[in-house]
Amino acid sequence: SSELTQDPAVSVALGQTVRITCQGDSLRSYYASWYQQKPGQAPVLVIYGKNNRPSGIPDRFSGSSSGNTASLTITGAQAEDEADYYCNSRDSSGNHRDVVFGGGTKLTVL
């Protein structure tokens, strides 16, 4: 099955821009979705599709994709953005049966 690879940890200074990446073969066919998870809480969808934000997600969150790499960009990171971020897609091999998650990136806002 396909895998999605994320950097385990990333840090950003308050108010600066940070990019979190996700690599995998399935991303040549699928746009990644991105989830934010804070301690003790369920994941929250922040980006899906080409670059869509669910209602209530600040516009400082954006998504992009190139080849086998998807990126989540936070422009002007805030203290409340400190969290774990996961990418997600389906495995494009076979019959698109399996759902896959990246290993997660812990974002620290300094």
Partner 1 sequence: QVQLQQWGAGLLKPSETLSLTCAVYGGSFSGYYWSWIRQPPGKGLEWIGEINHSGSTNYNPSLKSRVTISVDTSKNQFSLKLSSVTAADTAVYYCARGHVVVVPAAHGFYYYYYYMDVWGKGTTVTVSS
Contact residues for partner 1 (CB under 8 A)?
1, 29-31, 33, 35, 37, 42-45, 48-50, 54, 84, 86, 88-90, 92, 96-104
Q: How far is the CB of 75 from partner 1 (least distance, A)?
A: 21
Distance between CA atoms of residues 76 and 73, nearest Å: 9
Q: Does the CA dihedral 89-92-98-104 come out positive or negative? A: negative
| Nearest residue (CB) to partner 1, 77 versus 102 | 102
Residue 15 beta carbon to partner 1: minimum distance, rounded to whole angstroms: 28
The distance of closest approach from Cβ of residue 52 to partner 1 in the complex, given in angstroms and rounded to an integer, is 9
Burial of 37 (0-12, 13-18, 19+ CB in 10 A): middle
